[in-house]
Amino acid sequence: MTPSAALAPAERALGLIGPDLTEKSLRLHLEGLSGIDAVGLEERAAALGTRSIKTTSKAWALDTIIRLVDLTTLEGADTDGKVRSLVAKAMNPDASDPTVPRVAAVCVYGDMVPTAVDALGSAHGDPDEGNISVAAVATAFPSGRASLAVKTLDTAEAVAAGADEIDMVIDRGAFLSGNYGLVFDQIVAVKEACRREDGSYAHLKVILETGELNTYDNVRRASWLAILAGGDFIKTSTGKVSPAATLPVTLLMLEVVRDWHRLTGERIGVKPAGGIRTSKDAIKYLVTVAETVGEEWLQPHLFRFGASSLLNDVLLQRQKLTTGRYSGPDYVTID
């Protein structure tokens, strides 16, 4: 792409950068962002991690974590049976306690969307109304190494099958080689592929794969890029690359979202995914959200955990809190 080539006219980018939206003007904007001091960022995240969340606050936190989970299965070995089992768990996380809230969404590969939709039945819908959404990973997840035509088709098929949310991956190769415009145009194209026949859009989560971007400066640029191109959520990782979500990376992305909100009044969601396995860790994320962007972000439309094993640890902690006794892994269902 030549520096002067015009980029897809995404609304947010036009608003911020102006009508001259080109590879060059986008690059100037991204490279003009304030730098990140890694030591300072990690210290701040560690300090937030020392908050002590007890009693009533802990009880609320545990239920909130459950409400914010995208219960996920992304295996080559996924079958109809596995997805139906996952959906059953999403609708009724703790077989011994009906007061446990439902998770926000189930997250599956695109070809599993019809199964998930069918299994959810009337429970399929908006998490704000107590229902469960279906999220599909798309765009040649997890590597993103496919043509744009394949990526948009992948997306459109999942949306047509009933996916409410699309978790796309950015082209990290293009990003690292400096082709910001290419990454941008692809996000805009995938966003357009999220459009349903009635004109509404499936929610778009943009996975940055922060473990491959490697530096915090890159993560900040990629976060801005994804928001400017129209992402509804920015998401850390596929879960297939290590490191996946970390608290400092998530803090940094929350800071970008906070800055975007200060600038435009618009709220963007954040989804850390992969590597968050314990209640204790998840509570650190809640604290970080509340103290960085404010606790109004602690709702399914603005914050999610991409996780599979986290849910059971939260259930064990919840059982301990409600019964006063420690339970064990045999007292929660595998999925």
Partner 1 sequence: MTEIVKPHRFLDYAPAPESTSILHLKKSYGLFIDGEFVKGHGKPFLTVAPATEEKIAEIANANSKDVDTAVAAARRAYDRTWSKLSGADRGKYLFRIARLVQERARELAVAESIDNGKPIKESRDVDVPLVAAWFFYYAGWADKLDYAGLGPNPRALGVAAQVIPWNFPLLMLAWKIAPALAAGNTVVIKPAETTPLSSLILAEIFQQAELPAGVVNIITGAGDTGQALVNHPDVNKVAFTGSTAVGRAIAKSVAGSGKKLTLELGGKAANIVFDDAPIDQAVEGIVNGIFFNQGHVCCAGSRLLVQENVHDEVVDRLKLRLSTLRLGDPLDKNTDIGAINSREQLERIRELSDIGEREGAERWTAPCVIPDKGFWFAPTIFTNVSTSSTIAREEIFGPVLSVLTFRTPAEAIAKANNTPYGLSAGIWSEKGSRILAVADQLRAGVIWANTFNRFDPASPFGGYKESGYGREGGRHGLAAYLQGASW
Contact positions vs partner 1 (CB under 8 A) = 34-37, 39-41, 43-44, 50-61, 63-64, 97, 99, 255, 286, 290-291, 295, 298, 321-323
- The H or E element spanning position 178 is none
Smaller CB distance to partner 1: residue 16 or 59?
A: 59
Taking alpha carbons only, the member of 224, 227, 221, 223 closest to residue 236 is 223
Cβ closer to partner 1: 79 or 323? 323
Residue 25 to residue 27: CA distance in whole angstroms:
5
Q: Which of 167, 171, 185, 281 is catalytic?
A: 167
Q: Is 271 a catalytic residue?
A: yes
**Nearer residue to partner 1 within complex by CB, 2 or 55:** 55
The CB-of-34 to partner 1 minimum distance in angstroms stands at 4
- Say which residue the tokens 């943009």 belong to: 206
Q: How far is the CB of 28 from partner 1 (least distance, A)?
A: 16
Nearer Cβ to partner 1 (218/238) = 218
Least distance CB 56 / partner 1 (angstroms):
5
Burial class (CB in 10 A: 0-12, 13-18, 19+), 265: exposed
Distance CA 45, CA 28 (A): 29
Is the peptide bond between 243 and the residue preceding it cis, with omega within 30 degrees of 0? yes
Cβ-based nearer residue to partner 1, 108 or 253: 253
- Dist CA 138 CA 166 (whole Å): 6
Which segments of the chain are extended strands (E)? Answer: 69-72, 105-109, 133-137, 165-169, 203-207, 233-235, 269-271, 305-307
Q: What backbone torsions phi and psi does residue 317 show, to the nearest 5 degrees?
A: -65, -35
Hey, what are 278's tokens?
Answer: 């314990």
Active-site residue flag, 235: yes
- Rounded distance between C-alpha atoms, residue 286 and residue 62, angstroms: 10
- From the CB of 20, what's the least distance to partner 1, in Å? 24
- CB neighbourhood size of 133 (10 A): 26
Q: What is the smallest separation between the CB atom of 43 and partner 1, expressed in angstroms? A: 7
Active-site entry in 235, 281, 284, 313 = 235
Q: Is 151 helix (H, G, I), strand (E, B) or coil?
A: helix
Q: In the sheet that 233-235 helps form, which strands lie side by side, from edge to edge?
A: 269-271, 233-235, 203-207, 165-169, 133-137, 105-109, 69-72, 305-307
Nearer to partner 1, 60 or 326 (CB): 60
120/184 Cα distance (integer angstroms): 34
Least CB distance from residue 109 to partner 1, whole Å?
34
DSSP letter (8 states) at residue 96 = T
- Cite the active site residues: 167, 235, 271
